[in-house]
Amino acid sequence: MKLLIGSRERPAGWESFDIEPGPTVDHAGDCKDLSRFAAGSVETIYASHVLEHIRFADIVPTLAEWHRVLQPGGTIMVNVPDLNILSQIYVSPKLQGEEKFKVVSMIFGGQGDPHDFHYMGYDLETLAFCLYQAGFRDMARVEDFGLFDDTSTMKFHGIAISLNVRPTKPV
């Protein structure tokens, strides 16, 4: 099984998991709890702009849960807003007014619903630390995953704002 976490889309060959139920959501629930899936039952996990919505104290346990359901040698593809990039954009003297608020919403969430708040910001070092703590290895940063047209390829003024990594579960 290939599991798409945090999306209401369901591309062919994937099952979707989202906190809100919907017609294209195969599994509704909190991504911190994947107990409905057996250990080693998932081949690939894709989570686009999900981890920043999880409280800091829950990050490593959540990633450990994802690690548990992943097959040995399996991969997760995860992306988050890149706090380094967004901070650089924010302090740019060229950025003013409404555009500053757009950057702030990318850092802290759009806050349009109870689930759209960001509790954590990541750069490569902090994200890698959390992933390693959960048991993942072979951290690879990638430009994009080439799977879906989603936030992993989002740009602001021509600058990619997502941190995309592809760690694996050791065999």
Q: What pLDDT, on a 0 to 100 scale, did the predictor assign at position 56? A: 93
- pLDDT 10s digits, 44-55: 999 999 999 999
- pLDDT 10s digits, 116-171: 899 999 999 999 999 999 999 998 899 989 888 788 899 999 999 999 999 999 99
Q: Answer whether residue 102 shows pLDDT above 90.
A: yes
Q: How many residues does the chain have?
A: 171
C-alpha distance from residue 19 to each of 5, 58, 104, 115 (Å)? 9, 16, 24, 8
Domains of the chain, earliest start first: 2-165 (3.40.50.150)
- What is the C-alpha separation between 94 and 92, in angstroms, rounded? 5
Q: What pLDDT, on a 0 to 100 scale, did the predictor assign at position 159? A: 95
Q: Answer whether residue 112 shows pLDDT above 90.
A: no
Q: Answer whether residue 8 shows pLDDT above 80.
A: no
Q: What pLDDT, on a 0 to 100 scale, did the predictor assign at position 113? A: 86
